[in-house]
Homo-oligomer: A and B are copies of this chain.
Amino acid sequence: MARERLYLYDTTLRDGQQTQGVQFSTAEKLKIAAALDALGVDHIEGGWPGANPTDSAFFEEVGQTRAVLTAFGMTKRAGRSAENDDVLAAVMNAGTPAVCLVGKTHDFHVTTALGITLEENVGNIAASVAHLVASGREALFDAEHFFDGYKANPSYALSCLRAALDAGARWVVLCDTNGGTLPTEIGRIVGGVIAAGVPGDRVGIHTHNDTETAVSGSLAAVEAGARQIQGTLNGLGERCGNANLTALIPTLLLKEPYASRYETGVSHEALEGLTRVSRMLDDVLNRVPLKQVAYVGASAFAHKAGLHASAILKDPTTYEHIDPALVGNRRVVPMSNQAGQSNLRRRLAEAGLEVAPGDPALARILELVKTREAEGYSYDTAQASFELLAREELGLLPEFFEVKRYRVTVERRKNKYNRMVSLSEAVVVVKVDGEKKLSVSESMDEEGNDRGPVNALSKALAKDLGSYQAYIDDMRLVDFKVRITQGGTEAVTRVIIDSEDSSGRRWATVGVSANIVDASFEALLDAVRWKLVRAGAA
């Protein structure tokens, strides 16, 4: 039997940006959109053009995508035509193939919040959708407060949906705007809408997590016949967030009855990148990824209970409902036991270090990783620093050069035009090839902008490393992440630096200190040492 198509509509860039403390830059939006497109969602809602400068810039810069790019806006206001509504015009001007317009369907909101008649509201919906369709766009009508509206006045709520559909809307999206509707009721109401004649393959569901049931509410709507699911990566969104696509997608692809009944635009191959996509978003947000989240969390396949851990070694299906590799995640078994050592050996082998089972260095490395991680280091992310630590313990790390001292100065003062300007200067002193070398650099880039003290330090460190200089000339710092974390009893700074060389290879290193500059320097130093190891310098 052919499987029915379910459509995934992502609103990470619009509703996800309603998360308290989240404000994407245009570049971040472009990065997230590219990941969503590779994942295979059907629609990417990019924002509300005109309401927010980064939203407008995103639509200008995004280019071609496989997913249908969608702009969000609201139905035209009363007292003017759709053509003459400047808010709607700004949305249309983004030129996206699809437009999703929010409108009211709850009679109470129409009369109290909008202060217009019920008929005027229906007219606004119809005219706005017709305007989209006339200009060749795919039209979606986002029915705000639909579930509360349906409970209060089902025939009015339905008449709003019909107005949109009759005007040519491809989808009517039933929104549980305040997140208060529980899954059973969502299922009942979606069933009622479809029974009233709205085709299920034109019904979308948009839930919020205010009762921790947004994922189940979406599933209940699908079971009742809805065929589009709206949600966000990592469940970002207003208040408690939207339906979490990072949990829904694996359930739809891997779990019954969904896997046999439906298909989506996400392939099983793309699903294997899901954990990476989720971590990428946390990275953009500079958030520590939550461990206990479904499918993609670092603890999602961690077996702490002794009974579970030993059974897992006999047969993983005993305590795992899916194979973690299917979503790009991995099994974690406490470090202390046999499995901890075999994990470590596999990781070392990935770095080209073959260590025999039972080698006492393995236990020493495990212990060291544990101690350092308690201090704030994070070797999951900084694989290159992990490799250096292991090499040192195995006696496989040449010294290369020694840093004797460094000094960085950050200064801010008025320049000769009486404008405040800042500048950093770094001096690094190394002993290399038996010789002491002093290097100095400043933080000014080619355009005359101050790039700060870490930039100056990085340039001074890589300026003259004697016989090693040739190996590092093609290195550059491509990303720099800072996090305040708890190391022992004091807050410390963790810096992760991503470096790249001309071969396109990228590696991440970590530094930890109460002093942010010092933490950065440690990570810079590891970046250079790793490059020298890989280049075969000695």
| A residues at B contact (CB < 8 Å) | 17-21, 23, 25-28, 51-54, 74, 109, 112-113, 145, 177-180, 182-184, 209-213, 215-217, 219-220, 223, 235, 237-241, 244, 247, 250-251, 255, 286, 290-295, 297-308, 311, 314-315, 318-322, 332, 334, 336-338, 370-371, 373-374, 376, 378, 380-381, 404-414, 422, 424, 443, 449-454, 479-487, 490-491, 493, 513-518, 521
Contact = CB atoms under 8 A, between A and B. Distances in A.
B183 A216 contact: yes
B212 A293 contact: yes
A306 to B, nearest CB: 8
Given A302-B239, A319-B178, A286 B484 contact: yes
Given A25-B376, A215-B211, A20 B405 contact: no
17 contacts: A20-B380, A51-B338, A52-B337, A178-B319, A180-B321, A183-B220, A210-B321, A212-B215, A213-B219, A238-B305, A239-B300, A240-B293, A286-B483, A407-B411, A409-B409, A412-B521, A450-B515
Given A238-B308, A486-B28, A336 B23 contact: yes
A422 B240 contact: no
B493 A211 contact: no
A292 B515 contact: no
Contacts of A407: 409-413
A292 B486 contact: no
Contacts of A518: 410, 412, 422, 450, 452
Contacts of A298: 20
Among A303, A319, A410, which residue has the most Cβ atoms of chain B within 10 A? A410
A374 B184 CA distance: 42
A319 B177 contact: yes
B292 A19 contact: yes
A370 B177 CA distance: 25
Main SS of the interface on chain A? mixed
A378 B23 contact: yes
B18 A373 contact: no
Contacts of A453: 410, 453, 515-517
Contacts of A452: 493, 513-518
Nearest to A179: B321
Nearest to A457: B410
Nearest to A296: B240
A26 to B, nearest CB: 7
Nearest to A451: B514
Contacts of A449: 490, 514
A251 B20 contact: no
Given A109-B318, A405-B414, A515 B451 contact: yes
B424 A515 contact: yes
Given A453-B410, A482-B516, A211 B247 contact: yes
A252 B217 CA distance: 17
B20 A450 contact: no
